[in-house]
Amino acid sequence: MTIGLTPFSVSTILSRVRSEPPLVQCLTNAVVTNFTANVLLALGAAPAMTDIPGEAGPFARIASGVLVNLGTPHAEQRTAMLEAALAANDAGTPWVLDPVAVGSLPVRTALAAELLALRPTAVRANASEIMALAGLGAGGRGVDATDNPEDALPAADLLAAKYGCVVAVSGPTDVITDGESTLRISNGDVLLTKVTGGGCALGAVTAAFLSAAEDGEGLTAAAAATAVYTIAAQQAAAGAAGPGSFAPAFLDALAGLSDEQITTMLVSA
């Protein structure tokens, strides 16, 4: 049973991120590196895309949080991802797994299973990917979500319980669970799905917020990341003429997001 995420919780973690900028290491896909770094900078965090073997591990030890996104997992990056996850675990650095398009594609599906076994702090994905990751679905086609977050809740709970992680399922209403409690965020805008990396960059923001979480705050932090991200998107969409003008407006909105906007706009259950 939950009563939803409070604006106060969101503002508290956001202010920690802004006052003590976390260093967020992203091992992510080639399509969204630029947008992801700009999202982190707009948020007040410091991005670093250190993703080669021999450096990914040492960097994960000094990073505040790590994102492992499987969008375009070429061979060197796969090695670096495992290296980073192991080092993050060893150093106590929170890390987020984004299993892009897991299910039907063999290389990333095998890698996702290997990474999942290393027990990420959080998993962020769309409903189809979460169901595929839990073995309860076939996955979507590419990054498309063909399933509903609510339908993926059993799979998300299963993953959360089995691997001790928070699972965030993105969709029109985002569902975030730790296997015991569930939070729902109904902010955002469909334009966020019309900019590549709209989901991927949220994984990086989640890593930033987890790095600012205290013990036991994982669920709240992951949900707060989603809230900040989707509220900024909703605000940006209000003034956008299309997906092109939405993207820079979204970065501006993230950079300028105020506690008042969070209080006014947050829709959570």
Task: Tell me the closest approach of the beta carbon of residue 134 to its own copies, in angstroms.
Answer: 21
Q: Which residue has the tokens 């670093």?
A: 48
Output 21 or 179, the one with its CB closest to its own copies: 21
Residue 190 in the binding site for its own copies (CB under 8 A)? no
Give, as one character, the DSSP assignment of residue 145. -
Q: How far is the CB of 19 from its own copies (least distance, A)?
A: 16
Gap between the Cα atoms of 120 and 101, Å rounded: 18
> Which residues are paired to 146 by β-bridges?
none
Within residues 7-66, the interface with its own copies by CB under 8 A covers: 23, 29-35, 37-38, 41-42, 46-52, 54-55, 58-59, 62
Estimate the crossing angle of helix 200-211 against helix 218-238, to 10 degrees: 130
Q: How far is the CB of 60 from its own copies (least distance, A)?
A: 12
The one among 247, 261, 262, 268 contacting its own copies by CB under 8 A: 247
Tokens of 230: 């989707």
Residue 3 binding its own copies, by CB under 8 A: no
Q: Was 197 annotated as part of a binding site?
A: yes
**Residues 57 and 7 sit within 8 Å (Cβ to Cβ):** no
Segments in the chain forming alpha helices (H): 7-19, 33-43, 56-62, 75-91, 106-116, 127-133, 153-163, 200-211, 218-238, 243-256, 259-265
Instruction: For the CB of residue 165, give the shortest distance to its own copies in the complex, in Å.
Output: 25
Cα–Cα distance for residue pair 154/158, rounded to 1 Å: 6
Q: How far is the C-alpha of 33 from the C-alpha of 49, rounded, in Å?
A: 8
Query: Does residue number 135 form part of the binding site for its own copies (CB under 8 A)?
Result: no
The 93-122 site mask, x for binding its own copies (CB under 8 A), equals --------x--xxxxx--------------
Contacts to its own copies by CB under 8 A = 23, 29-35, 37-38, 41-42, 46-52, 54-55, 58-59, 62, 71-77, 101, 104-108, 141-144, 193-197, 241-245, 247-256
